[in-house]
Amino acid sequence: MFPAKFTYHRAASVQQALELLAAHDDAKLLAGGHSLIPMMKLRLAQPPAVIDIGRIAELSGISRDDGSIRIGALTCHADLAASELLRQECPLIAEAAATVADPQVRNKGTIGGNIAHADPASDLPAPLVACDATIHLLTADGSREVVASDFFVGLLTTALGEKEVITHLSVPAQTIGTGSAYLKVEHPASGYAVCGAAAAVTVREDGTCAAAALCFNGITDSALNARAVAGALVGSSLDDDAIDAAVDGHLTADDPLGDVYASGEYRLHLAKVQGKRALKLARDRARG
Ligand SMILES: Cc1cc2nc3c(=O)[nH]c(=O)nc-3n(C[C@H](O)[C@H](O)[C@H](O)COP(=O)(O)OP(=O)(O)OC[C@H]3O[C@@H](n4cnc5c(N)ncnc54)[C@H](O)[C@@H]3O)c2cc1C
């Protein structure tokens, strides 16, 4: 299958990418190409112009930035998974990135492309929501920030504007007493998440729960934030019974995704099982 005709432009800098976006209506940015190229070959996307940002060095890399971790939009999944800084300060992102597909996909696919494409079965959205990440966007007119829970709007739909570039993400460094876990049931053919559970809990010195987050990939058309479960856990003992009761009593999903591989009912069942396991693993890690 061949894509429809398009013009190819390579941007040498973010500034040049913005100028090219301004000059070409309906253009698409190309990062790792692992979602855009298949979409173009299937003619689900037919951009008249493609702007390659894949070699812009300033968009890559992971660094400490005050109290948070800065992740460049072009950072590939393999680099996220291997980052010692992320493993120390925000291990949930590294753990999720390590589960993406296979080494080829992890070496080419980028975090910016992953979240801009917003496949409901992608691995990064739920951990980013659970970690309270912020997405930094740039246009020719200026910059803005969107928190991850507002960024993912629906199926393949985000808050990203047509002429905007994701420059980087910032993720708060994990506080003392916090543990996290990402557990995934993957589709055997693609590796995409049938259910990906991202959990984080902060434990007080007396062992009770000070804060919690539980989010899912693969269950609804964008990352499912189980706020009611988290709310039920805060102040609890975080023992197995408390976690089971919070998930059983409070985890719901409007209109869960269903297909020939996994029905909506089955996905919700998986979310309950994986959600409990992820919370318990996060608690054990928090307690060290
Ligand atoms: C066989 C296969 C298996 C996969 N399995 C998984 C999996 O298990 N889990 C998972 O999470 N993902 C999976 N993926 C997706 C992969 O992880 C990539 O992250 C994803 O394809 C998009 O990243 P990319 O860099 O290739 O983006 P591209 O394909 O280059 O771009 C995707 C979209 O993002 C836009 N975009 C890219 N960068 C920016 C930017 N900086 N600012 C604004 N817009 C931007 C593009 O315009 C385009 O619309 C799989 C892909 C393949 C091909």
Domain-located, residue 277: yes
Which domain CATH number covers 18? Answer: 3.30.43.10
What pLDDT is attached to residue 197? Answer: 98
Q: Which ligand 1 atom sits closest to the C-alpha of 164? A: 43
What pLDDT is attached to residue 1? Answer: 83
For the Cβ of 100 lying below 6 angstroms from any atom of ligand 1, the answer is: yes
Q: Which ligand 1 atom sits closest to the C-alpha of 166? A: 42
Q: Which ligand 1 atom sits closest to the C-alpha of 29? A: 47
For the Cβ of 118 lying below 6 angstroms from any atom of ligand 1, the answer is: no
Domain-located, residue 121: no
Domain-located, residue 234: yes
| Measured distance CA(214)–CA(270) in Å, rounded | 14
- Which residues form the domain of 197? 179-287
Q: pLDDT per position in the chain (288 positions), as tens?
A: 899 999 999 999 999 999 999 999 999 999 999 999 999 999 999 999 999 999 999 999 999 998 899 999 999 999 999 999 999 999 999 999 999 999 999 999 999 999 999 999 999 999 999 999 999 999 999 999 999 999 999 999 999 999 999 999 999 999 999 999 999 999 998 899 999 999 999 999 999 999 999 999 999 999 999 999 999 999 999 999 999 999 999 999 999 999 999 999 999 999 999 999 999 999 999 998
Which residue lies with its CA nearest to atom 10 of ligand 1?
Answer: 122
Pocket test for ligand 1, best of 29, 51, 168 (most atoms within 8 A of CB): 29
CA of residue 37 to ligand 1 center, whole Å? 9
CA of residue 74 to ligand 1 center, whole Å? 10
Which residue lies with its CA nearest to atom 1 of ligand 1?
Answer: 190
For the Cβ of 80 lying below 6 angstroms from any atom of ligand 1, the answer is: no
For the Cβ of 120 lying below 6 angstroms from any atom of ligand 1, the answer is: no
Quick check: pTM over 0.95? yes
Which residue lies with its CA nearest to atom 31 of ligand 1?
Answer: 113
What pLDDT is attached to residue 66? Answer: 86
Last residue in a domain, options 21, 36, 52: 52
Which domain CATH number covers 270? Answer: 3.30.390.50
Domain-located, residue 283: yes
CA of residue 280 to ligand 1 center, whole Å? 31
Task: Indicate the number of domains in the chain.
Answer: 2
